[in-house]
A = this chain, B = another copy of it.
Amino acid sequence: MPESEQIDSLQAREKILATASRLFSEQGYENTSLAQVARQAKVSKALIFWHFDSKEKLYRSALRKTLEPYFIDVDGLEGLGEREQIERLIDLFYDFVHENVDSVRFFLNLTLQVDRQQDEVLGRVQELYRVFRKSLAEIFESGRRHGVFRDGTQPEREAGLIMAALAGLLIQHFRSDGSPDDARDLIEHLKTTLFQRLLVPAVGSTPAGRP
């Protein structure tokens, strides 16, 4: 069996997958027909079935492909102070969303669909969400122990609030009139107020209203 055939096969398969991922992300599952995928990938409908058996299986494969860039890069955090780590994670989240608007929108859509709630891929996204939140909480905890953050700092709650704010900015970003500037601005405001509240003040000055 000559290798060129194998390669061609892979190329067609990949082309279908790439096209399907894009269309599913942009239009959703129901609004994307296999005829459309076939047309844009420049293959026949039958070939899609030969490679993926059914629309549902193509969908799952496409989801997996879309999910590839979804991971948390914690390498850049080493050696940073707790405050900087928090800021870095917030920025990472923000940047990632802006680099993957379509697929983020898509996964957010999935999250809102009752019948897709058990999807394994959706489960992975939600796990990322949990990991991200847990990382934040751990950094707050570590910062509290190291005397960077106040004694009264509640790691879980602070992490939860940050995640909520980030998720909310996401929605604002998808509203047609939500300007990116507004989001950037609120991210900065979030960071400022967060650290105003939690940072242990430099020795010599007394924080207002808090012993």
Tell me the A residues contacting B by CB distance below 8 Å: 26-28, 30-31, 105, 108-109, 111-115, 117-118, 126, 129, 154, 157, 160-161, 163-172, 174-177, 182, 185-186, 189-190, 193, 196-197, 199, 201, 208-210
Contacts and interface: CB of A to CB of B under 8 A. Distances in A.
Instruction: Give this chain's copy count.
Output: 2
Given A28-B30, A126-B177, 9 more contacts: A108-B112, A109-B109, A160-B189, A161-B165, A161-B186, A161-B193, A168-B169, A170-B171, A171-B171
The CB with the most chain B CB atoms within 10 A, among A112, A175, A182, is that of A112
B193 A196 contact: no
A119 to B, nearest CB: 10
Contacts of A171: 108, 111, 167-168, 170-171
Contact of A209 (B117, B185, B201): B201
A177 to B, nearest CB: 7
B160 A182 contact: yes
Contacts of A118: 176
What is the interface of chain A mostly: helix, strand, loop, or mixed?
Answer: helix
A30 B164 CA distance: 29
A193 B170 CA distance: 22
Given A193-B197, A209-B201, A172 B164 contact: yes
Contacts of A28: 30, 113
B157 A185 contact: yes
Contacts of A201: 208-209
The CB with the most chain B CB atoms within 10 A, among A30, A118, A164, A170, is that of A164
Top 4 A-B pairs, shortest CB-CB distance = A164-B168, A168-B168, A167-B168, A30-B30
A169 B164 contact: yes
Contacts of A129: 175
20 contacts: A26-B114, A28-B113, A30-B31, A108-B112, A108-B171, A111-B171, A117-B176, A126-B177, A157-B186, A157-B189, A160-B186, A164-B168, A167-B172, A168-B168, A168-B169, A193-B197, A196-B197, A196-B209, A196-B210, A199-B209
